[in-house]
Amino acid sequence: MKKFPILFVLCFPLLSLAQGVEFASGLGFDQACEKAKAEGKSIFVDVYASWCGPCKMMDRDVYTSGQVAAEMKDKFIALKIQADSSSQDDAETRNGYANARRFVGKYKVTAYPTLLFFNPDGQLIEQELGYRSPDDFIKLIHHSLEPATAKLYGNLDAYRQGKADYPSMGKLALFVKKVLHNKPLADSIAHDYKINFLDKSSGEELCSKDNIEFIAEFSGLVRSDDGFFKLCYDHPGKVDSLIGRRGWAMSEVGSTIMRERLTTPFVQNGHPVVKNPGWESVERGIVKDYPKVKARALMLQFQLYYYRAIDLDWKVWAKYIDEQLRLDPPIKKGNMFATAFGRLNLPAWDVFQHCNDREVLKTALRWSDASIKMDQGTDDVIQSLDTRANLLHKLGRTEEALAQEKAAVALSASIAKRTGQPEAKGPFMSDFLANLDKMQQGKPTW
């Protein structure tokens, strides 16, 4: 991810986007806090970058909305922070770099747009990342102004003093994790809330959007003998509809089973616990106890992790990759990690970089061939061409490697031309040319 100097936008006394939200300018954050406290207003800060597409969409679709402006009017002091700099910046802008960087560092802004809501005391109460539609942005406004949200700092102080208000602790744990970025404290609150409140609730009480969203953030707290697991296993469609993510409930079930039946018994501090795990026995147990779960797919997911990260065995790992590909082939389009790039090219590249076993390298070359075949005729194939070239070179088939790397260079140049860029700016061009040079000199590219 590119990192840019950060600067406050200081232009006119008041910047209004097409009669929409009015953003104050010439006002530092500390001054805004003083003004907000005196006037009893909250503060909204939009951190953006001039090159950021979603940021431009916020300006175009959201801040120009009369409804959004009406929701914020007389309730907020709004500021914008620009996240890039250029040679055209004036002296006032350049003078603001240091203060702005401190602001962004303090609130851990790492991507754009980041939307921050502060109470009249200047305390951060909500922080969200990414584009929001006008309706969703209004929901953020309402949430930031809710009495329950306003009480979060008081609830946190009370919790630290040993006074637990259990009905509100789920939101408190989320607030501490997502806004205050204090994961250890958030985990402690979440554990307390789960054990002493949620685990004593009925299944019907557990089945709410707030509870499901809480568990999504703290999924490691779920146990196979608790109400959440039973809810996800018995009513996955209902849970999925609450969180708005198809397949989430059974994924949560699988993660819990994997943690209890596989990770805990067989991995400790990143090392194997036993020399020869009894995988078949474990799989039979999962099939018997959880017939709705795809046990073989779950086992493969863990075995791939185990033989790559815990007890490295390239040949066994490659065997399980092949089995997983047969059981669940890559898709043409969709989630990157389910496509040819994620399922074929990435493991092939992993082998090229880290494995010297020729048989495994040949297997990886087969994956690379399959990845190229799936993406042939599209720009998506570009990295697979480079992967195949590098595998061929490592196998000593350098003439073939040179031809393949040249094909990757040609595609990069073609993409640059189509997008109006110089050839040198084509995707991965500098890497491809460096590889080509090493191959021509007979040097390793790994």
Distance CA 353, CA 362 (A): 14
- 373 alpha-carbon distance from chain centroid: 29
Distance CA 286, CA 291 (A): 7
Q: From 311, 409, 395, select the one nearest 360 (Cα to Cα).
A: 395
> Which tokens go with 436?
């080509």
Distance CA 14, CA 340 (A): 50
Distance CA 256, CA 262 (A): 10
Distance CA 182, CA 296 (A): 37
Q: How confident is the model at residue 2, as a pLDDT?
A: 39
> Which tokens go with 56?
């431009």
- Count Cα atoms within 13 angstroms, Cβ side, for 280: 0
Which residue reads 């990157």 in tokens? 336
CATH of 313-446, one of 1.10.287, 2.60.120, 1.25.40, 3.30.420: 1.25.40
Position 140: which residue type? Answer: L
> Which tokens go with 323?
């089995």
> Which tokens go with 170?
């789920």
Which residue reads 């009513």 in tokens? 235
β-bridge pairing 114-118 and 76-82: unpaired
Distance CA 46, CA 51 (A): 15
- Other Cβ atoms less than 10 A from the Cβ of 113: the count is 25
Q: From 432, 444, 426, select the one nearest 352 (Cα to Cα).
A: 444
Distance CA 378, CA 420 (A): 18
Q: Which helix (H) or strand (E) holds 15?
A: strand 14-16
> Which tokens go with 152?
């979060």
- 253-297 pLDDT per residue, tens: 999 999 999 999 999 999 999 999 999 999 999 999 999 999 999
- Other Cβ atoms less than 10 A from the Cβ of 219: the count is 15
Would you give per-residue pLDDT tens digits along the chain (446 residues)? 334 444 444 333 444 444 789 998 778 899 999 999 999 999 999 998 878 889 999 999 999 999 999 999 999 999 988 877 767 666 766 776 777 788 888 999 999 999 999 999 999 999 999 999 999 999 999 989 998 888 999 999 999 999 999 999 999 999 999 899 899 999 999 999 999 999 999 888 999 999 999 999 999 999 999 999 999 999 999 999 999 999 999 999 999 999 999 999 999 999 999 999 999 999 999 999 999 999 999 999 999 999 999 999 999 999 999 999 999 999 998 888 899 999 999 999 999 999 999 999 999 999 999 999 999 999 999 999 999 999 999 999 999 999 999 999 999 999 999 989 999 999 999 999 999 999 999 999 99
> Which tokens go with 401?
């490697």
Q: From 400, 403, 402, 405, select the one nearest 431 (Cα to Cα).
A: 405
Residue pair 427/412 in contact by the 8 Å Cβ criterion: yes
Biggest distance spanned by C-alpha atoms of the chain: 74
Backbone angles phi, psi at 141, to 5 degrees: -60, -50
Sequence ranges of the domains in the chain: 7-150, 152-200, 201-306, 313-446
Residue pair 128/114 in contact by the 8 Å Cβ criterion: yes
- Other Cβ atoms less than 10 A from the Cβ of 14: the count is 12
Distance CA 123, CA 143 (A): 15
* DSSP code for 219: G
Distance CA 144, CA 126 (A): 6
Distance CA 167, CA 173 (A): 12
**Residue-wise over 235-270: b if at least 16 C-beta within 10 A, else e?**
ebeebbebeeeeebbbebbbbbbbbebbeeebbeee
Ordered DSSP codes for 118-167: E-TTS-EEEEEES---HHHHHHHHHHHHSHHHHTHHHHHHHHHTT---GG
Position 86: which residue type? Answer: S
State the angle between helix axes of 183-196 and 169-178 in degrees (0 to 180), rounded to the nearest 10: 160
Position 283: which residue type? Answer: E
β-pair partners for 272: 267
Q: How confident is the model at residue 91, as a pLDDT?
A: 72
Supply the CATH classification number for the domain 7-150.
3.40.30.10
